[in-house]
Chain A
Amino acid sequence: MAFDAQPTRKFNVVGTRVTRPDGVDKVTGKAAYGADISAPGMLHGRILRSPHAHARIVSIDTSEAEKLAGVKAVVTGADLAMPEDADFADVAINCLARDKALYDGHAVAAVAATSKAIAKQAIRLIKVEYDPLPHVTDVDAAMKPDAPVVQEGRALENVPAGMSQNVTTYCKFGHGDLDAGFAKADKIIERSFKTAATHQGYIEPQACMASLGNDGRGEVWCCTQGQYMVRANCAAALGVEESQLRITASEIGGGFGGKTSTFIEPVALALSRKSGKPVKIVMTRDEVLKATGPTISSSMDIKIGMTKDGRITAARGELRYSGGAYPNFTVEMGAQAAFAAYDLEAVETIGWNAMTNRPKEIPYRAPGAPTAIYAVESVVDELCQELGLDPLDVRLMNAADKGTLSSYGPTFNDIGLVATLEAAKAHPHYTAPLSENQGRGLSCGFWFNFGGNTCVSLNINDDGTVGVVEGNPDIGGSRASISMMAAEELGVPYDKVRTVIADTSSLGFNDITDGSRVTFAVGLATIEAARAAIKEMCRRVAKIWDIDEDAVIWEDGCAKPAGPNAGTHPPMTLAEIAAIAGNTGGPIAGHHEVNADGAGVSFGVHLCDTEVDPETGAVKILRYTVFQDAGKAVHPDYVEGQMQGGAVQGIGWALNEEYIYGEDGRLQNAAFLDYRIPVASDLPPIETVILEIPNPGHPYGVRGVGETPIVPPLAAIANAVSRAANVRLTELPMSPPRVLKAITG
């Protein structure tokens, strides 16, 4: 679907800041989240987890737990099916371990009991005999040929022989002659970087309530970013058909990518199947941090050559990511994104994934990109420092633009990078004075964005209101933006439209809420569904007026005669048409099903000022400005919220958040006390500047905006800290001990 040939289109609803539909429910406590769903006779499920980083499970004796009064079911990995598909199998094994516990916190058994207290007691009565195995949690250590092997036989065919079996993925992207490029450089900098795994840190822990009868029919209510994904994973893990499972997504208390997999739903279903009762499982924060998915951890080498006037002549990156105890492909996205902001003659990026005894990586906003771009943008900044060049001018000089052969293969269409850089350069922040121990950093950011499989139904109600039914949980304001696009297209007020999220049995398949796809793809399908409904309404009116269908047009929310030849009929409103739909052929609806293409890549630029305390290594963020191309900001409040939220999560990642493992391979900080997400007082006001370079792939020009904003902060902050402290920081997080050590040497 192409961008409408209406670049000067005047929007009535899109671009305004209407009241969000979920706000009142959320602030009054009425909104029903995963843990708020209960059923008569419901049991409480609880999961037993491995205390070992890596251990063979010799035996599990559940007999004592089963004898405890109030215990209605105990399950282990043997109670789940073993799916043939490797991805489904990994999910099932991650839900309940089979022969080995692969990380500290890996689920090994579960109980369902009539009370939480009994469930807790029962868990302690399960006897698991472990045979502890050597473990590895560091990605570089895991790649060594003699490293403990997390899983055998999982490497892809293109991984060279002779490497550790932990190495599962190899990828390579780029073009041009690197040697010739580096030979042309006046200055070459090569540096190595490391980043810690971080967690999405959503406030709502995973929770579900599930019921599965002997007839194989089941229901699940859960907080998720994709009810169809939950259905597929549960069907595979339970060995039932998808049609027999109905999954309803609850209101969601944050996802950020972390709720794009399943951890507890198949377990609750297995417990329900065994007990004959509905089973609720609510994860604790400790379980969330230990056993749901953090990001990759990384180790990276970057080499960039530059002429003395700032032109990059060649660039090479080697990324080593670990996605935890399972094969993982996030490094492919990191390797593709690393140099995407640059128009380069010679570039190469190589990526490796190595398994470690850590929880299975689950996407976190722009998975793979923030770390790779952190390393690249750090080296670009250091080159600017060494050569005495303005970092914004250098980025403008090398910026990718329409027609650029990207570092990962495709040639860019209309992109907003140059405009975004120019906006940053023109902003007063860029030239504001700095004091002693202060530094300014900047970074470009990039994300691919995604479209994907999408279904939308749009119903014209008999009272003239409109119901939109879509299949993607709302994690970033999509119900508002979808209602707005429906209202815009139909020409009715925003408050006449209500968008709801369907369960899996009420609407066709939808991909998960990921890839910043929903406002783009569901919006696109909504506009098409509205157009289908309009076409039908015009047909009905043509019938009433007894003229040709082509002679009726839709304008300002009304059917009107197309011109003088069509006769002089008074316009009919949507409400008037809806009220008599029963007389003109029955209910009116529009629907659209699409695998949406043309998501349109997104670029952002972040500017950050920091102050470093040279005596303690403490970093204060003084000022922060986000510039981003939104294509078209449907609801600017939400777009700004995404930009600010990405910056905040990036600040946490850059400064304090990290998975800390002990010598024993156990996670030492599975609580928000020592897993430090930023608190409000850590943050300055985050200014936002939205640019609108329309995406040719969407009728209104919309681009996804949810992921790009977490990409630049790591480098923007690292560059600011490195300049403030007069020393180049190359490891995240830049926690005070690490910064102080860098300063004092």
Chain B
Amino acid sequence: MRYVKPESFEAAATLLRDETGISRILAGGTDVLVQLKAEMVEPDLMVDLKHLPGMREIVAEDGGFRIGAAVSGAQLGEHDAVKAMWPGVVEGVELIGSSQVQSRATMAGNLCTGSPAGDAVPAMVTAEAVARVQGPDGVRDVPVIDIPTGPGKNSLNKGEFITSIYLPARPAHAGDCYLRFIPRTEMDIAVSSAAVSLTLDEEGTVTDARIAIGAVAPTVRLVKDAGAALVGAKPDDAAIAAMVRAVEAACSPITDKRGTIEFRTKTAGVLAKRAALIAYGRAGGQL
């Protein structure tokens, strides 16, 4: 295995494009190193990116924040301004792994790994976050929701990698939340999850709602019907019930060692309900 620390994003992209064997990118490394140790993969090329400019920085941009692809969960969790603006996104990232893992784990890595259960992903989707992708032919911006394509797969082309994730500015009276279900209290993988981002008007009526669910389909799903069910009213019992029905209808999980189809579907709805009520409170809404 060759370990390379390239001098620029362009050089990294070229290296990755030209590699004929198996290559892996090292940012946080919390998935790659585990896979190496478990002998799941033996890469021919390992490209370390975390030293490149901006990779470990959080920068304010156009009212939002650009978060470098190697920014750790711990670093993000200590950034008060991001936390205040997108508490749901930050709480999702902070649920990855243990305290030790948090000092390395990144939201970009969590996204590229392509796990349907990635904790950082649903709230990035409801935040309409955008990934900046570097490739051999230049840079492009891709909505986060378009990055994962299935378990362990993503839409990036050979030689491409994410350099940062942009969290846009959010309007007044808005709030988000991410919840997951795990059998333990930590150190686990979501059996189901839900993120909710709400915007309210002055009276507390929901004017915009985005709901994403995780671990209940091959990729994280943005459930437009569920969001629509909350728009135009306060999240009362009827609106919530309609939203939960839409969430359950959007679930197409599998039964495996972590949970049954039935269990995942039911808990996805329960989590969406609970997350919606928390997000509503964070947006300043009162029931």
**A contacts, CB < 8 Å to B:** 120, 286, 615-618, 655-656, 660, 668-669, 673-674, 676, 678-679, 681-682, 735-737, 740-741, 744
Kindly specify which of B104-112, B219-227, B252-260 makes contact with the partner chain. B252-260
Decide: B260 and A737 in contact? CB cutoff 8 A: yes
Complex-state Cα separation, A192 to B281, whole angstroms? 47
Decide: B257 and A737 in contact? CB cutoff 8 A: no
Known: A615-B270, A668-B257, A737-B259. A676 touches B181 (CB 8 A): no
Decide: A736 and B257 in contact? CB cutoff 8 A: no
A470 to chain B, nearest CB (A): 37
B244 to chain A, nearest CB (A): 11
Known: A674-B257, A674-B258. A736 touches B183 (CB 8 A): yes
Residue B33 is within 8 A (CB to CB) of chain A in the complex: no
Decide: A616 and B267 in contact? CB cutoff 8 A: yes
Known: A618-B181, A679-B187, A737-B262. 6 other contacts (CB 8 A): A617-B263, A656-B183, A668-B257, A736-B263, A736-B267, A737-B260
Residue B189 is within 8 A (CB to CB) of chain A in the complex: yes
Residue B2 is within 8 A (CB to CB) of chain A in the complex: no
In-complex Cβ contact of A735 among B183, B186, B189, B270 (8 A): B183
Interface string of B61-72 (1 = CB under 8 A from A): 000000000000
In-complex Cβ contact of B184 among A286, A668, A669, A682 (8 A): A682
Instruction: Give the residue name and chain of the A residue nearest to B270 (CB).
Output: A615
Within 8 A of A (CB), among B231-287: 256-260, 262-263, 266-267, 270
Instruction: Give the residue name and chain of the A residue nearest to B256 (CB).
Output: A668
From B181, B257, B270, residue with most partner A Cβ within 10 Å: B257
Decide: B257 and A660 in contact? CB cutoff 8 A: yes
B110 to chain A, nearest CB (A): 16
Residue B188 is within 8 A (CB to CB) of chain A in the complex: yes
Decide: A676 and B188 in contact? CB cutoff 8 A: yes
Residue B185 is within 8 A (CB to CB) of chain A in the complex: yes
Known: A120-B39, A615-B270, A616-B267. A679 touches B259 (CB 8 A): no
B211 to chain A, nearest CB (A): 17
> Which A residues lie within 8 Å of B267 (CB)?
615-616, 736, 740
Instruction: Give the residue name and chain of the B residue nearest to A619 (CB).
Output: B183
Decide: A681 and B260 in contact? CB cutoff 8 A: no
Complex-state Cα separation, A176 to B262, whole angstroms? 47
Decide: B263 and A656 in contact? CB cutoff 8 A: no
Complex-state Cα separation, A660 to B256, whole angstroms? 10
Decide: B188 and A673 in contact? CB cutoff 8 A: yes
> Which A residues lie within 8 Å of B187 (CB)?
673, 679
* Pairs of residues from A and B, 9 with the lowest C-beta to C-beta distance, nearest first: A737-B263, A681-B185, A615-B270, A668-B257, A660-B257, A682-B185, A656-B183, A679-B187, A616-B267
Complex-state Cα separation, A422 to B199, whole angstroms? 58
Complex-state Cα separation, A681 to B186, whole angstroms? 7
Known: A120-B39, A674-B258. A740 touches B185 (CB 8 A): no
Decide: A616 and B260 in contact? CB cutoff 8 A: no
Complex-state Cα separation, A737 to B260, whole angstroms? 7
Decide: A736 and B185 in contact? CB cutoff 8 A: no
Interface string of B130-167 (1 = CB under 8 A from A): 00000000000000000000000000000000000000
> Which B residues lie within 8 Å of A286 (CB)?
38
> Which B residues lie within 8 Å of A740 (CB)?
263, 266-267
> Which B residues lie within 8 Å of A736 (CB)?
181, 183, 191, 259, 263, 267
Instruction: Give the residue name and chain of the B residue nearest to A662 (CB).
Output: B257
Complex-state Cα separation, A682 to B191, whole angstroms? 17
Decide: B270 and A616 in contact? CB cutoff 8 A: yes
In-complex Cβ contact of A669 among B257, B262, B270 (8 A): B257
> Which A residues lie within 8 Å of B185 (CB)?
679, 681-682
A456 to chain B, nearest CB (A): 42
In-complex Cβ contact of A679 among B38, B186, B266, B270 (8 A): B186
B72 to chain A, nearest CB (A): 21
Instruction: Give the residue name and chain of the B residue nearest to A671 (CB).
Output: B38
Complex-state Cα separation, A737 to B263, whole angstroms? 6
Complex-state Cα separation, A679 to B181, whole angstroms? 16
B238 to chain A, nearest CB (A): 18
Known: A120-B39, A615-B270, A616-B267. A676 touches B260 (CB 8 A): no
Decide: B257 and A679 in contact? CB cutoff 8 A: no
B214 to chain A, nearest CB (A): 15
> Which B residues lie within 8 Å of A744 (CB)?
266
Decide: A679 and B184 in contact? CB cutoff 8 A: yes
Instruction: Give the residue name and chain of the A residue nearest to B269 (CB).
Output: A615
B95 to chain A, nearest CB (A): 12
Complex-state Cα separation, A120 to B36, whole angstroms? 13
Decide: B39 and A676 in contact? CB cutoff 8 A: no
Within 8 A of A (CB), among B64-112: none
Known: A615-B270, A660-B257. A676 touches B263 (CB 8 A): no
> Which B residues lie within 8 Å of A616 (CB)?
181, 266-267, 270
> Which B residues lie within 8 Å of A737 (CB)?
259-260, 262-263
Instruction: Give the residue name and chain of the B residue nearest to A737 (CB).
Output: B263
Complex-state Cα separation, A381 to B162, whole angstroms? 58
> Which A residues lie within 8 Å of B262 (CB)?
737, 741
Interface string of B160-194 (1 = CB under 8 A from A): 00000000000000000000010111111101000
Instruction: Give the residue name and chain of the A residue nearest to B185 (CB).
Output: A681
Instruction: Give the residue name and chain of the B residue nearest to A661 (CB).
Output: B257
Complex-state Cα separation, A402 to B255, whole angstroms? 52
> Which B residues lie within 8 Å of A669 (CB)?
257
